[in-house]
Amino acid sequence: MNKQNVLNFLAENPDFLAEHAETLGVRLRDDKVRSFAQAQLAAAQIKADKMAAQMAQMMAAAEANHATMQRVLALDIALLRANTAAQAVQALYRSLEQDFGLQQYRLALAAAPHNKAKIPPALCVADERAKAEIAAMEVPVLGSKISPALRALLPADGKVAESFLQLPVPIGGRTGALLLAADEDVARFGEDLPTEWIVRMAEAVGAVLSRVMGYR
């Protein structure tokens, strides 16, 4: 009997070693000898469990992404109905608080209107340094760092903010406003968060402000 015959015999009789372990001097692990088929089954189960976990993560991410998309679309519709800067800001603030759960935020406007549109005084930025920093910002900035000039634009609510969102809003083809938000949770506006949807939000806010402020 050659080696292959032995292997074939053991494959056909997976319990042979367990039944004759003492006679053959075989040391069993957990009093069992797993057949090749059993080992394959166990490996396949581990792989299946891993794939199931990955699928669950993908589905959870897709659901979260869908929910965010729905909130942004709802804001888009509300902004389309706005005919004044005050109405646009009201729609934005309602969405930030009710849909996104933000408590500390402000839209800071640095650009001046090209028409006679009435701009809510609370929207306008008077500090020249803050205006310059807003105009120079081109991409969203998230994380724990914020300049003193921009930090001062946020409403004081007595809470210690640990993370900030600084979102440039385009008006007339350039940054004309900044959407600021802060949170006590350092992970709320973490540096590694995706910015696709908030950029989309900024574009929508900028479009309505450009329209009501007389920009082409």
Instruction: With 0.75 as the threshold, say if the pTM is over it.
Output: no
At 45, the pLDDT band (50, 70, 90 cuts) reads: confident
- Alpha carbon distance 188, 173 (integer Å): 29
Residue 61 has pLDDT above 80, yes or no: no
At 19, the pLDDT band (50, 70, 90 cuts) reads: low
Please report whether residue 36 resides in a domain.
no
Which CA distances in Å does 68 have to 54, 56, 73, 141?
A: 21, 18, 9, 19
- Alpha carbon distance 80, 97 (integer Å): 19
Residue 3 has pLDDT above 90, yes or no: no
Please report whether residue 49 resides in a domain.
no
Write the CATH number for 194: 3.30.450.40
Q: What mean pLDDT value characterizes the chain?
A: 84
Please report whether residue 41 resides in a domain.
no
H or E stretch including 53? helix 36-80
Q: First vs last Cα of the chain: how many Å apart?
A: 91
H or E stretch including 182? strand 174-183
Task: Give residue 97's domain range.
Answer: 56-212
Please report whether residue 34 resides in a domain.
no
Residue 182 has pLDDT above 90, yes or no: yes
- Alpha carbon distance 128, 105 (integer Å): 20
Number of domains composing the chain:
1
Tokens read off for 30: 């957990």
- The average pLDDT across 77-92 equals 95
Please report whether residue 114 resides in a domain.
yes
Summarised one tens digit per residue, pLDDT across range 90-134 is 999 999 999 989 989 999 999 999 999 999 999 999 999 999 999
Please report whether residue 13 resides in a domain.
no
Tokens read off for 79: 């902004």
Please report whether residue 160 resides in a domain.
yes
At 72, the pLDDT band (50, 70, 90 cuts) reads: confident
Please report whether residue 70 resides in a domain.
yes
- C-beta of residue 143 within 8 angstroms of C-beta of residue 162: no
Q: What are residue 188's phi and psi, to 5 degrees?
A: -60, -45
Tokens read off for 89: 């800001």
Amino acid present at 151 = R
Residue 80 has pLDDT above 80, yes or no: yes
- C-beta of residue 86 within 8 angstroms of C-beta of residue 212: no
